[in-house]
Chain A
């Protein structure tokens, strides 16, 4: 190979490596966790600037022709490490934007605008990072000891770059293919439901911003060490769109797709145009590049939104041992049940939950108005009432999905009125939703597993620690899930996407998922709607068994026959208030109840 070819090849590899690393970061944020970071380029820029000012000598050197902060003259690899750290730290101010339950497109706009503004500020504030001219003469790593112009150095840079890209891939994969990654994908599919299962959305999103930012920062450090200069023109907001284009075209949610996209889009476009004979005025070919990237994004989203390599379905093998379980067995034989509550060792008829004068207003309308009741341990309490009586809102208030506007909620002696939903879930209060709320692009098994509390692999550090750290626990949870599926006759669908099931099956998945969370207090919103009566009866029996083992359950249901069969006591609501409470047989004799609900 001639020297020119080597330099070209190495340049290609380094650019490719930088794009691959950046796209992996974006794939982790956007493809896996659904965080729409349209300011992604800020983090790459932060990394590049950091690596520059850490490796550059003080700005008085070189005759002081450029101004910048820092100039610490640090040896390799500190500038790269610093690049990753600062890339992650820069993400922190944006946490408040993604931590809220803000519309995804609004978040995207906020971050996009932040990218434009960051560029504007750096461009105009010269003494910070030398303004529009940018930084040049950034030292190559180890240039005091090695000759950056030598072929061996060039090849060495390429190899180190490839290793870093592989390391990043390995890291993102480790995060994604773990219980932690499952929680991230659950959040992407439906953040409200993930919240109700005890996932801390704010923390998960913050972690994704920081991790993605650190990866982007690293890519910036690797780039600037090679090209030795960095300026605002290199990181316009539109560069983020190129990276998004790469991830979307490659396949969002599939890290291999991100790698493919990085090679096809940013690298492929840059290089393809080298072979186009120059024509037209200067700037024409880059303009066409941008147009082509725009077209690619729009066409792909229209015709193949899943990308070239779509997110693959995670098939989990279920342990064979549990297949001996027959439908005659009950859940009692399963290692399921409520988690050890704080009331351990007290009387069975303890008050689990006390609702005192709770209200909720929506725009001046009192959906729930001064509601009080007590839930006793081990009871299956029914909640009935006409449409709009406030039943679902009451459940939402108990679960913390919706905050109360008045009153108090006391759970096992602890005031939880202001406790956020995910924390209540972690204390054992688990709810289901009236509308289908399955995680569509998680398999049935993954849906079930996503609810298991205290999984060793569900924390960031647990995922980083690797499969060995969580494999044993996962095996146990898989066995539980498989047994539940067997029990409710959904084994054949274990590895189907939940979004592909029928309405009744989805309902079952939701109930099973709630059970996997080992609730102490289970709040079911119309669990039997759309479920075949035989199956509904089975569900009822199982719920009763769970109650007999100490679980407390509230069930909103319209079908009164189920109330008759399974629920005692039953609470009747009307116009946001509790109208009556008691055994169903008594309620049927009370005229005001019959008037308000049974007959109307």
Chain B
């Protein structure tokens, strides 16, 4: 029971980090139609921005804020300079995936050329341990979860109640029709890159906090968890991604406790594979 509770706690934290990333990824894909596999690379780049500021003496939570801005800026730039020109020329989806992988190499190893191959950690107090319903969590972990919940609420409010959020959903559902409603789809898409990029930067920093130490290629495996969560919920579906994040987060950590930690990502991979083969529109999606 103790093992279960401990792994359940870890699962919740992984789910929290994952939810922020997966919602960002799925929004990006749903609205802009780009399957941005460089998402993990951008996460780590943003995490490094927080690291540099942290090294300069800035509090890591302020660093997180700046990292979110950096993630937004980098994602926007990535689209404007790379993806958008390809889309304007009607490049095939597979060409875009190859381009995204090329960008992954450029960002990850460009970063590695700057920061070197060794792992780094944030300077931060992990705070005291809190007992909550049998779970043992540090204050930082609790803050990460609270942050994830806050982000999910914000995304929910954005998509359901704001003009922009509805315009994003409309653009995702039917771009030509959205334009005939007077929605400037170009602007909505730019804003989507900024918002999802901010989520990406935020996710990168909390991922780095949670992992303890990180280097330029740390997010490679995490990207698989993100993909699994996104495809489980159905690509393009924000609420599906939230659900997927919880399932994948818990499944990986609990399996780590009971099987072996080295294979904890394998369960995510298997789920992703099953989804792709069985129902690529997600468990909630139409067949």
Q: Which residues of A contact B (CB under 8 A)?
A: 36, 38, 96-97, 100, 102-110, 112-114, 116-117, 120-121, 124, 237-238, 241, 244-245, 248, 280-284, 286-291, 293-298, 301-302, 305, 363
Whether A291 touches B98, Cβ cut-off 8 Å, given contacts A113-B224, A124-B262, A281-B116, is no
Binds A, one of B43-51, B86-94, B154-162, B163-171: B86-94
B105 interface contact, C-beta 8 A: yes
Selected from B95, B99, B113, B263, the residue in CB contact (under 8 A) with A287 is B113
Given the known A-B contacts A241-B105, A294-B102, A295-B106, are A108 and B269 also in contact in the complex, defined by CB atoms under 8 Å? no
Cβ-defined partner of A244 (8 Å) among B35, B98, B116, B117: B98
Name, among A103, A244, A291, A363, the residue most crowded by chain B CB atoms within 10 Å (CB to CB).
A291
Q: Which residues in chain B, 101-135, are within 8 Å of chain A measured between CB atoms?
A: 101-106, 108-110, 112-113, 116-117
Q: Is B139 an interface residue (CB 8 A)?
A: no
Q: Please indicate the chain B residues that have their CB under 8 angstroms from the CB of A104 in the complex.
A: 92-94
Indicate which residue in B86, B91, B113, B220 contacts A116 across the interface (CB closer than 8 Å): B220
Given known contacts A97-B277, A104-B92, A283-B117, is B86 in contact with A297 (CB within 8 Å)? no
**Complex formed: what's the CA distance from A283 to B217 in Å?**
13
Q: A106-B280, A113-B227, A124-B263 are in contact. Are A301 and B97 (CB under 8 A)?
A: no
Q: Closest chain B residue to A284 by CB distance?
A: B113
Shortest CB distance A349–B (Å) = 42
Least Cβ distance of A189 to chain B in Å? 12
The 8 A-B pairs at the shortest CB distance, nearest first, are namely A294-B105, A290-B109, A124-B262, A297-B102, A294-B106, A105-B93, A287-B113, A294-B102
Closest-CB distance, A38 to chain B (whole angstroms): 8
B255 CB, min distance to chain A CBs, angstroms: 14
Complex: A108 Cα to B286 Cα, angstroms: 22
Known contacts A287-B110, A293-B105; decide if A113 and B116 are in contact (CB<8 Å): no
Chain A facing B: main interface SS: helix
Given contacts A102-B280, A287-B113, whether A295 and B97 have CB atoms under 8 Å apart is no
Chain B nearest Cβ from A523, distance in angstroms: 26
The complex places the Cα of A380 from the Cα of B272 at a distance, in Å, of: 49
Q: Does B82 count as interface, using CB distance less than 8 angstroms?
A: yes
Q: Which residues of A contact B109 (CB under 8 A)?
A: 286-291, 294
Q: Is the CB of A110 within 8 A of B272?
A: yes
Determine if A105 and B94 form an interchain contact, defined as CB atoms under 8 angstroms apart.
yes
Of the candidates A114, A244, A281, A301, the one having the most CB atoms from chain B within 10 angstroms of its own CB is A301
Contact of B269 among A102, A113, A237 (CB under 8 A): A113
Tell me the minimal C-beta distance from A235 to chain B in angstroms: 14
Instruction: Pick the residue among B92, B96, B113, B276 that contacts A106 (CB under 8 A).
Output: B276
Residue of A nearest to B91 (CB): A301
Q: A104-B94, A106-B276, A120-B265 are in contact. List 14 more A-B contacts (CB 8 A).
A: A110-B272, A117-B269, A120-B221, A120-B266, A244-B101, A281-B116, A293-B105, A294-B102, A297-B98, A297-B101, A297-B105, A301-B91, A305-B91, A363-B286
Tell whether, in the assembled complex, residue B97 and residue A109 are in contact, meaning their CB atoms are under 8 Å apart. yes
Contact of B93 among A103, A283, A286 (CB under 8 A): A103
Contact of A302 among B85, B93, B265 (CB under 8 A): B85
Interface residues of B in 34-92 (CB under 8 A from A): 35, 37, 82, 85-86, 91-92
Interface core residue of B101, B117, B263 (most chain A CB under 10 Å) = B101
- Give min CB distance, B90 to chain A, whole Å: 11
- Give Cα A293–Cα B263 distance, bound, in whole angstroms: 31
Set of chain A residues within 8 Å of B91, measured between Cβ atoms: 301, 305
Contact check, B286 vs A290: say whether CB atoms are below 8 A apart.
no
A116 to B112, CA, bound (A): 20
- How far, in Å, is A191 (CB) from chain B's closest CB? 13
**Are B277 and A100 in contact (CB-based, < 8 A)?**
yes
Does A105 contact B116, Cβ atoms closer than 8 Å?
no
CA distance A504 to B272 in the complex (A): 44
Q: Which residues of B lie under 8 Å from residue A238 when comparing CB positions?
A: 105
Give B254-287 interface residues, CB cut-off 8 Å to A: 260, 262-263, 265-266, 269, 272-273, 276-277, 280, 286
With a 10 A CB-CB cut-off, give which of B260, B266, B277 has the most chain A CB atoms: B277
Contact A294 B94 (CB under 8 A): no
| Option from A38, A109, A121, A241 in Cβ contact (under 8 Å) with B266 | A121
Interface size class of B (residues with CB under 8 A): 35 or more
Per the bound structure, the CA–CA distance linking A469 and B273 in Å amounts to: 41
Which A residues are CB-close (under 8 A) to B98? 241, 244, 248, 297, 301
Contact A290 B105 (CB under 8 A): yes
A117 near B101: Cβ-Cβ < 8 Å: no
Contacts of B277 in A (CB 8 A): 96-97, 100, 110
| Contact partners of A96 in chain B: CB under 8 A | 277
- Bound together, the chains give a CA A270 to CA B221 distance in angstroms of 26
A-B contact pairs, 12 of them (CB 8 A): A103-B280, A113-B227, A116-B269, A120-B262, A124-B260, A241-B98, A244-B101, A283-B117, A290-B108, A291-B106, A294-B106, A302-B86
* List of B residues within 8 angstroms of A38 by Cβ: 97, 101
Q: A238 → chain B, closest Cβ, in Å? A: 6
Chain B residue with Cβ nearest A131: B262
Flag if B95 contacts A305 (CB, 8 Å): yes
Most buried by A among B105, B221, B265: B105
Within 8 A of A (CB), among B12-53: 35, 37
Q: How many whole Å from A133's CB to the nearest CB in chain B?
A: 15
Cβ contacts under 8 Å, A107 to chain B: 276
Chain A CB count within 10 A is highest, among B99, B106, B221, for B106
Q: Do the beta carbons of A241 and B102 come within 8 Å of each other?
A: yes
Least CB distance, B19 to chain A, in whole angstroms? 20
A113, B267: Cα distance in complex, Å: 12
Smallest Cβ-Cβ distance to A104: which chain B residue: B94
Q: A120-B266, A302-B85 are in contact. Are A283 and B276 (CB under 8 A)?
A: no
Q: How far does the alpha carbon of A102 sit from the alpha carbon of B277 in the complex, in Å?
A: 8
CB distance from A34 to the nearest CB of B (A): 8
Q: How far, in angstroms, from A281 to B98 measured CA to CA in the complex?
A: 30
B276 contact set on A, CB distance < 8 A: 97, 102, 106-107, 109-110
Q: By CB atoms of chain A within 10 A, which of B82, B104, B108, B113 has the most?
A: B113
What are the residues of chain A within 8 A of B224 when measuring CB–CB?
113, 116-117
User: Per-position contact with A for B208-231: 1 when CB-CB < 8 Å, else 0?
Assistant: 000000000000110010010000
A129 to B85, CA, bound (A): 44
**Nearest A residue (CB) for B260:** A124
A289 to B116 CA separation, bound complex (whole angstroms): 14
Q: Check if B106 sits within 8 Å of A298, measured CB to CB.
A: yes
Inter-subunit contact A294/B86 (CB<8 Å): no
A248 nearest CB neighbor, chain B only: B98
- List A contacts of B273 (CB < 8 A): 97, 110, 113-114
**Contact across chains for A108 and B97 when beta carbons are under 8 A apart:** yes
